[in-house]
Structures are given as C-alpha cells and as structure tokens.
Amino acid sequence: MEPTTARRPLDGIRVLDVSTVIAAPLAAMILGDLGAEVVKIEHPRDGDPARHHGYAKDGVPLWWLMLGRNKKSVTLYLGDPEGQELFRGLAATADVIVENFRPGTMEAWGLGYEVLAADNPGLVFARVSGFGRTGPLFREPGFGTMGETMSGFAFRNGDPAGEPYLPPFGLADGVTGIATALGVLSALYERRDSGRGQQVDLSIIEPLLTILEPQLVTRDQLGVTLGRTGNQAEMNAPRGMYRTKDEAWVALSASTASTAGNVVRLMGAPGLADEPWFAHANQRRAHAADLDAVIVPWFAARTAGTAVAECRAAGVPVAPVHTAEDILADPQYAAIGAIGSYEHSQLGTVRMPDALFRLSRTPAGVRWLGPELGAHTEEVLDLDPERLARLRERGVL
C-alpha cells in the first residue's frame, strides 16, 4: 500500500459556509473533512441553530461538535451594510460558498452569485433550498420533512396496513448534504479546465428521488404505484426482520438466487430451491410467505448471537439490529475506522462518525471539533482593534 502524506484532497480550497441546519452545513462539513478551510459565517447572537438542537453535556452542544467540526466560526451579520462589505471581501478570497437561505435572500443583501462572481469568476456557489429556485413553491420555507414526503419516501415507508412513516432523523437533509458536496466537487473539477466557477443548485425534495428505486419509471410505464411493504422488499425475497429466542431482532436480506438458496438449505427446506419460481427475484417475492414460513421459526428457536453466527458460516447475509451502544462496541466499525475518537477541551475524548471517505494516500480526517461561537472571528477578518470593537458593539460581529 502506498504511504499516506500530510496533504489532504482539498488543501488550499477555501469554503464559506453561510448556512444553517442541516443539509448545507453537512456538505460543508464533508468538504472540511476533505481538507478545505471552511469558514463558518454565523449570526452574532445565536449562531447556527444546530448549536441548540439535541442534547448537551456541561453546556457543550453535542451535535454541533460533529456538524461544526473542521470549521472556523466567524460571527457576521449579513443584514448590515458593513457586514455585507466584509462578506464580499471574504468571498473574493473563496473557492466555494455554501448557502441555504430562502431564494432571493442573498440577492437582497447584494450578495448574489452574479455580484460575487464579478469579483471572483472562479467562485463555486452551492445553493441548497427547500424546493429549488423556480416553480410555484420556490419561495416557501422547506425542511427535510418536505423532502421525505414529496419524494414518495414516507408513502412507501411503514406497514402496508398502517400510516406512512417519517424517519426519526434528517434523512432528506443527510442525503442532500452528501449530494451537495458531490456537486461542489464536480464544479471544482470542471473549473480546472475552464477557470470559471458556477452555481450548484439543489433542493431538498430531489436527492431521495434518486435512491427510491424505480418508483417513477414504474408508474410512468406501467401505471403501477409502489406502496408500503413493511420490512419486505418490493422486488425480492427473502428479506425482513426476524425476532430471535432472546427477544432481539436480526435482519436478513438474500437478493440473489444463490444466497436465497443458502437460506433455505440452512433452515431445513432445501427443496424450495428446486421450485420453478425460486430462481427469479420477482417470483420469490410472490412466494415470500412460503419462505417466511421456514425462516420465522428458525430464528425464533435461536438466540441472536447463535443465529448470526450460523447464518454467516452458511453464507447467509444477516446483521443484528444495532443500538448506538452496539455500534460503538462493534469490532467491524472499529476495524474499518468508521468511528473516530477526538479530544475536546471540556469533554475529553469524544467519539463520533469519522470522515466519510477513506483515501489511501491523502486521507480525509477531523482536525478539530465544532468550535465556540465566533472563536475565529479575529483570525479570519483580521480587523484593526478599534473597528473590531465598534462592529461588536453594533452587533455586526
């Protein structure tokens, strides 16, 4: 394996993160993990609302430690003319801006793409919004819940006989954040040849459409609306959650004929693999009840640990249903380096998901955790003390 270096993939790239909870700040976090200098622009009074979301320990907001990691916090009120002047100065030095105000807000402040790109033609301007920048809803406020409902996810999530279910976390925001980071990287790559930046426009209602399998083309071509299937898959079997003897749950998913054959052989019904329908995914799905008639009692007669061990020995794809406690203790996560341990001045060692990508030569990583509000204002703005004090007194910083 080639040796790693001190260089990171986005060394030398400066990002202005002018966004708040959740999607756009997550995109900026990913860029920071990859080595970009991320300057987080926050309101002088309260900062990013993520600082006040969720749990805290000893007054330290825990979620912010992750979402704000690798970011320099600068307080700056963009509704003030002097704040706008200072931001334009920062934008002239930036490679990327990430923002998620309602469409038109940055333009109203004189900080739209056309204005900033006139001074900095190579600027990549990533714009995340609820519904995009055109259409009947573009001025409406939008949160991840809108993405989870309008994409069809909630309609398809839950028990077939029950109500649609929303996820208990920011699913649409998370997918949008990752997608936004990808869009920024694409624009930076293209800039190497053209020398020009561009806008990256993404709404929260879009990215889930990409991962919701063929629901749109199925409706368009067959008139079929895919619905809720509980823990079963729409197009394959066996797949589901199974309760074990010790009241735990194990997930099983065998999406190929060979792995499905491993299931029925392990569970004492090898003859099912000889049925004409068994070789085809859609036909196995039609016989999911026949498969579950074998699978359910097999799991019910074993503890989760025993069932998982026997399945893995037989080539059956399974996984226990983890809690956060289980994840922190899981040797597989530890082996691949998915969980990082970092030091915090007040809390000591803090564990959290590590950088998303493992690059062999120029690894991504976490250099520091989410900072206190305004911790880097003086460093980044580099103002003379008199002006600094005046702007703080006026509430601009």
Q: Which residues are catalytic?
A: 173
CA-CA distance, 95 to 221, in Å (whole number)? Answer: 43
Q: Are 102 and 170 in contact (CB under 8 A)?
A: no
The three-point CA angle 158-162-165 to 5° equals: 35
CA-CA distance, 39 to 376, in Å (whole number)? Answer: 9
Residue 71's closest CA among 107, 45, 40?
Answer: 40
The structure tokens 């993404």 sit at 202
Q: Are 299 and 268 in contact (CB under 8 A)?
A: no
318 Cβ neighbours under 8 A, 6+ residues apart: 250, 251, 252, 253, 307, 308, 311, 312
DSSP designation for 165: -
Is 174 exposed, middle or buried (CB count within 10 Å of its CB: 0-12, 13-18, 19+)?
middle
Residue 321's closest CA among 213, 268, 244, 219?
Answer: 244
223 Cβ neighbours under 8 A, 6+ residues apart: none
CA-CA distance, 104 to 120, in Å (whole number)? Answer: 20
Helix (H) or strand (E) holding 283: helix 281-286
Tokens of 224: 């079929």
Instruction: Classify each residue of 12-42 as buried b or exposed e, where b means 16 or more C-beta atoms within 10 Å of its C-beta.
Output: ebbbbbbbbbbbbbbbbbbbbbbbbbbbbbb
Instruction: Classify each residue of 83-94 as buried b or exposed e, where b means 16 or more C-beta atoms within 10 Å of its C-beta.
Output: bbebbbebbeeb
Long-range contacts of residues 139-143, Cβ cutoff 8 Å, at least 24 apart: 139/102, 139/103, 139/104, 141/102, 142/203, 142/204, 142/205, 143/173, 143/204
Tokens of 393: 């007194």
DSSP designation for 342: E
